[in-house]
Amino acid sequence: MKVAVVGATGLVGGEMLKVLAERNFPVDELLLVASEKSVGQKMSFKGKEYSVVSMADAIAQKPQIAIFSAGGSVSKEMAPKFAEAGTTVVDNSSAWRMDPTKKLVVPEINAHELTPEDKIIANPNCSTIQMVVALNKLHQALKIKRIVVSTYQSVTGTGKKAVDQLMNERAGKEGEKAYAYTIDLNVIPHIDVFTENGYTKEEMKMVNETKKIMGDDSIGVTATTVRIPVIGGHSESVNVEFERDFTLEEVYRILHETPGVVVVDDTANLQYPMPLNAHGKDEVFVGRIRRDETQPNTLNLWVVADNLRKGAATNAVQIAEYLVENKLV
């Protein structure tokens, strides 16, 4: 099994390598791929040193799988070139997510839709992944009518520059800025660019991707996405209206049976999900489970996950695992 990691030198690329190693993904030959300026840079994987190679070199070597985390414009240009060489691409950017000819996959929900013909597979947005993992089984049982979600997103979602900005501000040092404003001791209600309807692209990703992954355009979704001075994971306050009523016991049972979900909900002992505890883990943590007492059939949840892992690297590696296990590559 020859595997390429494209964008290997970035935050998510580094996390992908970590996840591949931890999960013992069957890598016989590894290609670490990055931009021309990084070619020749040395990186290690499972105790062995590798040199970063160029896109052209990687394509020529025809890996079976290429896991991309190199940004949308690179994916748009290079993913089809890998696909033409026979490689199956799992792409972490937004480039292919809403393309009607491409599958948008969260393995616990819709990996069964994949076929050997799917040569470019889209990995959803981090904030969408954790929400749909938490909600999918509830949707199957109770049928979701509407979701109102507000996110509290880690600076790691922006990248290394944002982490550096936060740490520099905390230390009182000058440095390069990823955000237009100070992020330390602040909250910025703005992720990605604003669109004509007044929502940001990040907010609209949650709206559109949720419907596509769950295969249901009737679900109403409205989102507000917010950047907070946290490292370790994204948090979400999720208000869900269902078509039919439920008991809280039923909700707990469904969540306990949901693959990839860990329920942390013991308010008597102050137990609830936090980024501090989700950091470095692959599960989606759900707590603060309670009825919305202002209208029928409606539930409030607090959902937390490590955005670099389940929100990006782990989900992509799980897709690759599914491809291998089901002989689709």
Task: Tell me the binding residues for NADP(+).
Answer: 9-12, 37-38, 307
Whether 58 contacts 34, CB under 8 Å? no
Q: Indicate which residue of 112, 139, 234, 279 is catalytic.
A: 234
Decide if 234 is catalytic: yes
Residues making up the annotated binding site for substrate are 153, 227
Amino acid at 259: P
Spatial contact of 42 and 65, defined as CB atoms under 8 Å apart: no
DSSP 267: G
C-alpha–C-alpha distance, residues 242 and 163, integer Å = 38
Alpha carbon 328 to chain centroid distance? 22
Does 126 qualify as catalytic in the annotation?
yes
Q: Which residues contact 221 (CB under 8 A, 6 or more apart)?
A: 146, 147, 149, 206, 207, 210, 211
Report d(CA 37, CA 42) in Å as an integer.
Answer: 13
- Cα separation, 328 vs 295, whole angstroms: 46
CA-closest candidate to residue 97, choices 312, 327, 318, 323:
312
Interatomic CA distance for residues 254 and 221, integer angstroms = 21
List of residues 6+ apart from 112 with CB closer than 8 A: none
Residue 204 neighbours by CB under 8 Å, 6+ apart: 195, 197, 223
Using CA atoms, how far apart are residues 278 and 232, in angstroms rounded to an integer? Answer: 7
Cross-strand pairs, 234: 305
Tell me whether residue 190 is exposed, middle or buried, using C-beta atoms within 10 angstroms of its C-beta: 0 to 12, 13 to 18, 19 or more. middle
Residues flagged as binding site: 9-12, 37-38, 97, 153, 227, 307
Active site residues: 126, 234
